[in-house]
Copies of this chain bind each other. A is one copy, B any other.
Amino acid sequence: MSGFFIRAFGVFVDVSLIISIDAMGGDHGTRTTIPAALDCLRNNPNLQLILVGDEQVLMPLLEQGLLEFKDRLSIQHASQCVAMDESPAKALKNKKDSSMRVAINLVREGRADACVSAGNTGALMATARFVLKMMPGIDRPAIMSSMPSIFGHTHVLDLGANVDSSAENLFQFAVMGTEVVKALENTASPKVGLLNIGEEDTKGNEQVKSAAKLLENSHLNYIGYVEGNSLNAGDEKVDLIVCDGFVGNIALKSIEGAAKMITSIMKESFAKNALTKVVALMAYPVLKAIKDRIDPRLHNGASFLGLKGLVIKSHGGADALAFKTAIHVAEVEVEKNVIQKISEQVEHALSRRENV
Contact = CB atoms under 8 A, between A and B. Distances in A.
A148 to B, nearest CB: 7
Interface of A: 87, 148-150, 160, 163-164, 195, 197, 202, 204-206, 227-234, 243, 245-247, 249-262, 264-266, 269-270, 272, 276, 279-280, 282-283, 285-286, 289-290, 293-294
Nearest to A148: B261
A228 B256 contact: yes
A205 B257 contact: no
Nearest to A209: B163
Contact of A250 (B160, B227, B256, B258): B227
Contacts of A269: 286, 289-290, 293
Contact of A294 (B231, B252, B261, B293): B261
Nearest to A160: B197
Nearest to A243: B250
B294 A265 contact: yes
Contact of A229 (B204, B229, B260, B272): B260
B260 A258 contact: no
B283 A261 contact: no
Given A250-B250, A286-B269, A257 B279 contact: no
A253 B265 contact: no
Given A228-B256, A259-B262, 14 more contacts: A150-B260, A150-B261, A160-B197, A205-B246, A228-B253, A230-B257, A231-B258, A247-B250, A254-B254, A255-B255, A262-B290, A272-B286, A272-B289, A279-B286
A257 B283 contact: no
5 contacts: A150-B261, A204-B246, A232-B260, A266-B290, A269-B289
Contacts of A282: 279, 282-283
A252 B293 CA distance: 23
Nearest to A270: B286
Contacts of A253: 197, 227-229
Contacts of A232: 254, 257-258, 260-261
Nearest to A245: B197
A291 to B, nearest CB: 10
Given A197-B245, A231-B254, A252-B228, A265 B293 contact: yes
Contacts of A195: 250
A294 B262 contact: yes
